[in-house]
Structure 1
Amino acid sequence: MGERKRNIAVRFFGGAGNYTAVLEEFCHYVLTEDPDLEGALEWVKANTRATSDAGIADRLRFLESIGLLALEEAQVELTDRGIRWVAESDPEILFDALVENVHGFETLLEALLEGPQTDAELGDAIAADHPAFDWTDPSGPAQHRGWLQSLGYVERSAGLNSLTDSGERLARRIASRLPTLEPGTDYAQSELEAAFDTGFGSYIKGINPRTDDDGELAYIILKAREDGPYGDDLTGERFTYIGEGVPSKGDQQLTPANGALVNHAEGAVVPIYFFYQPADADRLRYEGLVDIVDAEYVADPGGERLVYRFTMERLEIEDPTEFEALADSVVDGDTETGSASAESETSDDSDGSEPPLTADEEEFTATQRRVRSSTFAKRVKTAYGRRCAICGASRESPAGTVDIEAAHIYPKKENGRDTVRNGLALCRLHHWAFDAGWLAVTDDYRVLVADRPDLEGYEEFARLEGEELTLPAAEVKRPHATFLAAHRERHGFESS
């Protein structure tokens, strides 16, 4: 590899969008024929339109500088990275080689998250991110774009460059600054500090909430120890995790660490990386991403103190940006991939169209559906400030959890969509009453009560007739009339 990163990539043969196809053929030739440098030059001239030895050698030296080739007069060889790329056909292997040795590739992908751009605009983005660059070659950005096209991350039409689906996933992961770790792999603390670009002090604590540059919670690192003092039950798809606070200090308190997990159970939606440390090891085994489905403040098994007990669910998702995209889709709309880009909440009514009542659940795996369902509950409760939309109550338990539930307006059992506009935050009583058909809501957000004075409970609910709902400040998070009308129709209320 080169001693320092390059500013400009060197194109390969085959034209932009086809570099990797020609490169793969060349690498197979190197692997099978074991050529010298002259033989490699002759292969390129015989299989491409290249004729200049100097030009060919320049492009081969670029492959050497990014760690794919080892060039000697008497021998041209693939490096271990080059062999792995050919064997696995994984575009990220080649992308990582480019990123490690050439500036600007990550900048280009992040810039395209804002929408289609020309090569010149991409050059401006790279120059702004790397002010030391001297773009003396106006084709420089096109070299970057040509490689990304060839890797399948960028597509080009009418002079504009856009992200493909795989390119958007990669760009979102880069923008999130969150690493993708390998479940079942053991990591040293130094390796995790490098991956997360953060320090953990003398050791990694059990609960590690980490914030972004704006002070917002970005992710949580969670660790369980085999010889830990809490007696966590870590078996199964769902498991329990005891919060921070050793037995000698009595009842556990709502520390910032415990509070981060409580808030995640109630509203925050960020990736949680879960690790396990065997008693006889310094390295931590990565168990994968998890979600918090419940938080309780209960007596410990011995009954001698109160502890925070969190119910965790393992997620079969390796990429944290997939988790974030699924979470965003609950607010921003359903898409085939869970991405938040296709169907926004504002599009539900800004153009006069009606949103669909149901989602095509076949588009999501079981894990993706669990993530969306959990996120739906958290997003809805957060949108309503954890208060009942009907009575305004917000009862809090000693654990700091709130007696508020997220209700689907058009029911989940009928495949009602996991979107905030199909949700209401309700206390347990009014959630039951809404689902049972005692209560409904008009299009102008007033409470309707079923006209059943012969039934017990009517007098209690009748007092709510005509009351206005407590709603989110953002109009795009308020119930959509389509869902409200469908609920009224299901329970026999007259049109409103």
Structure 2
Amino acid sequence: MGEDKLNIAVRFFGGAGNYTAVLEECCHYVLTEEPELPALLEWVKANTRATSDEGITDRLRFLERIGLLVLEEERVRLTDRGVRWVAESDPEILFEALVENVHGFETLLEALLDGPKTDAELGAAIAADHSEVEWTDPSGPAQHRGWLQSLGYVERSDGLNSLTESGERLARRVASGLPALERGTEYSQSELEAAFDTSFGSYIKGINPRTDGDGEPAYIIVKAREDGPYGDDLEGERFTYIGEGVPSKGDQQLTPANSALINHAEGAVVPVYFFYQPADEDRLRYEGLVDVVDAEYVVDADGDRLVYRFTLERLEVDDPAEFAALADSVVGDSTETGSASAETDAGDGGDADEPALTADEEEFTATQRRVRSSAFAKRVTTAYDRRCAICGASRESPAGTVDIEAAHIYPKKENGRDTVRNGLALCRLHHWAFDVGWLAVTDDYRVLVADRPDLEGYEEFARLEGEELTLPDETEHRPHATFLAAHRERHGFEST
């Protein structure tokens, strides 16, 4: 569509914020009556304040342009898209119609991700993003915003426009460029290439990692075949998936595809789309988003070779934007914005408020908590460059996985928050020692050791007394004093 797109989204009747309510009634009338155009004009006059045939026709022509109506001499009828929108009342159906035919809607949503904007600021953003079409109409921003208000994606107060909760989810997905696919639906390769705006070559491989414009991981597509050579066990909420490398080639190697799933198990937090291809079929059934929770390098079931065996967990999150928002929330959770260390006293300004120690049980669903828990582990270990904060060690297994764990400072069993500032990356030994109370940490990030010389192990830990932690470069990733103090209190350390 590109150059054929319109610059202005012609408003409908009912006022900004109410276009879709009136439009739905109009479309329902067209669906049930299939009226001639004069009859539809009279219906609009009877149900709105419109009086001009020319003005009404202009609006109907716009609906025809975006693919909702067909205006014929004999009758007016709904398109398939129009019928689907009336039947499902899904705002994204209408949003897609607007995006495909009018410049600027995606730009407007992405601009609002940065915070509330006036109509004029939205117009400037659209003009900057679409300079090739000389988008300068001063009425345009209000028209665009009115449609987005009606769809429930934008709200307006005191001349400022901001995203609603559903609008933010949509805006994040638009910004990511990732589609929200329908679970259980079968897709052809061409349909998936159109959805992801990419080419998969002659066929879609088993593991397809993709990067963004900066070369950073963006998403992974994983496919299992019913007649595949690997013997994947796909039953249950958690299941195993064998990595890349067919039996005829011997032991599986650390290819970029296998590395992508290993990195996801350890630190990368990107959407992983899982598909299943039935035998003798070209189409792929979408099974939903999954999380990579473990990676092992093991002897295969036949005992013939070494393979990468991944443990995948199905997620009941369909929208990649929701997945990304949940994963990001473990970094920006609660009110943790300042440093909790001695650097704060040196002039960082500190925290305005103390974060809550525990999570709100009703804040997230079970699935959302699972996504956040996984993201917590990955964000924490990545923040510490997959090295133990206490000893600096980082051990790698033959599978390429790193023996570093994410420890909650205020414990998970006490409903401690899944937020990076309630976390430490620790080796297994020091994770255990921290959890049981051998070790604690001061507010200025120095190691404390329990004064128990009568117990075996004391000498090994005693040499760590007073050592400084290895900390993340980013201040917002460092432990918060509130969590450190709560941990010391739980294990009987004196206040520091």
Range into which the TM-score falls when normalised by the shorter chain: over 0.9
In structure 2, the partner of 1:92 is 92
Match of 2:456, SS? Answer: coil
TM-aligned CA deviation for residue 2 of structure 1: 12
**Aligned 8 A contact 2:295 2:401 in 1:** yes
Whether the 8 Å contact between 1:445 and 1:468 is mirrored in structure 2 is yes
Q: CA distance change for structure 1 residues 396 and 16 in 2, over 3 Å: closer, same or farther?
A: same
Structure 1 counterpart SS, 2:302: coil
* SS of residue paired to 1:132: helix
> Contact 1:333–1:345 (CA<8 Å) still a contact in 2?
no
Residues 292, 111 of structure 1: CA spacing in aligned structure 2 closer, same or farther, 3 A cutoff? same
Matches within 5 A, 1:402-417: 402-417=402-417
Q: Does 2:270 correspond to 1:270? A: yes
Partner of 2:290: 290
1:25-424 aligned at under 5 Å gives the runs 25-135=25-135, 137-334=137-334, 343=335, 345-346=337-338, 350-424=350-424
Q: Is the alpha carbon distance of 1:93 and 1:398 closer, same or farther for their aligned partners in structure 2, counting shifts above 3 Å?
A: same
Q: 1:393-449: per-residue Cα shift (whole Å, max 9, x none)? A: 111111111111110000001110001100011111111111111111111111111
2:92 counterpart letter in structure 1: E
Whole-angstrom distance in 1 between the partners of 2:137 and 2:437: 69
Change in Cα spacing, 1:347 to 1:98, as seen in structure 2 (3 Å) is: farther
Measured against aligned partners, the alpha-carbon deviations of 1:104-126 in whole angstroms (never above 9, x if no partner) come to 11111111111111212211211
Inter-partner Cα distance in structure 2 for 1:185 and 1:475: 44
* Distance in 2 of aligned mates of 1:53 and 1:189: 46
Would the aligned equivalents of 2:380 and 2:406 in 1 still touch at CA under 8 Å?
A: yes
Measured against aligned partners, the alpha-carbon deviations of 1:440-469 in whole angstroms (never above 9, x if no partner) come to: 111111111111122111121111111111
Match of 2:480 in 1: 480
CA contact (8 A) 1:14 1:22 kept: yes
The alignment partner of 1:227 has SS state of coil
Shift of 1:74: 3.4
Contact kept, 8 Å, 1:117 with 1:161, in 2: the verdict is yes
Q: Deviations over 1:221-271 (max 9, x none)?
A: 111112222111111111111111122222211111111111111100000
- The whole-number CA distance in structure 1 between the counterparts of 2:471 and 2:453 is 28
SS of 1:51 mapped into structure 2: coil
Query: Aligned partners of 2:126 and 2:204: how far apart in 1?
Result: 36
More deviation, 317-326/32-41: 32-41
**Runs of at least 5 residues in structure 1 that lack an aligned partner in the other structure:** 335-342
Q: Which amino acid aligns with 2:241?
A: Y
* Cα 1:102–1:378 shift into 2, 3 Å: same
Name the aligned partner's letter for residue 28 of structure 1.
H
Q: What letter matches 1:75 in structure 2?
A: R
User: Secondary structure in 2 aligned to 1:110?
Assistant: helix
Deviations 1:149-191 (A, max 9, x none): 1111111122221111111111111000001111111111111
The CA deviation string for residues 328-369 of structure 1, in whole angstroms up to 9 with x for no partner, is: 0011115xxxxxxxx564499744321111111322111111
Conserved 8 A contact 2:187-2:286? yes
Is contact 1:211-1:217 (8 Å) kept?
yes
Q: CA RMSD in A?
A: 1.7
> Are the equivalent residues in 2 in contact too, given 1:440–1:448 (CA < 8 A)?
yes
Name whichever of 7-16 and 406-415 sits farther off.
7-16
| Amino acid across the alignment from 2:395 | R
8 Å CA contact retained: 1:153, 1:168: yes
Paired residue type of 2:90: D
For 2:387 and 2:42, the matched residues in 1 are separated by 74
CA distance in 1, matches of 2:390, 2:339: 26
How many angstroms apart in 2 are the aligned matches of 1:154 and 1:227?
47
- Partner SS for 1:7: coil
Q: Contact 1:183–1:288 at 8 Å: present in 2 too?
A: yes
- TM-score w.r.t. length of structure 2: 0.95
Q: 2:434 corresponds to which letter in structure 1? A: F
* Contact 2:339–2:478, Cα closer than 8 Å, also in 1: no
Q: What corresponds to 1:14 in structure 2?
A: 14
Q: Which runs of 5+ in 2 are unaligned?
A: 341-348
Deviation at 1:387, TM superposition (A): 0.9
Residue number in structure 2 paired with 1:337: none
Partner of 2:458: 458
Give the aligned length.
Answer: 488
Whole-Å separation in 1 of the counterparts to 2:270 and 2:451: 44
Alpha-carbon distance between aligned partners in 2 of 1:142 and 1:34, rounded to the nearest angstrom: 32
Q: Secondary structure at the match of 2:70?
A: strand
2:336 touches 2:354 (CA, 8 Å); kept in 1?
Answer: no
Alignment partner of 1:222: what SS? strand
> In structure 2, the residue corresponding to 1:331 is in which secondary structure?
coil
Q: Work out the CA distance in 2 between the residues paired with 1:24 and 1:185.
A: 27
Cα distance in 2 for residues equivalent to 1:219 and 1:437: 39
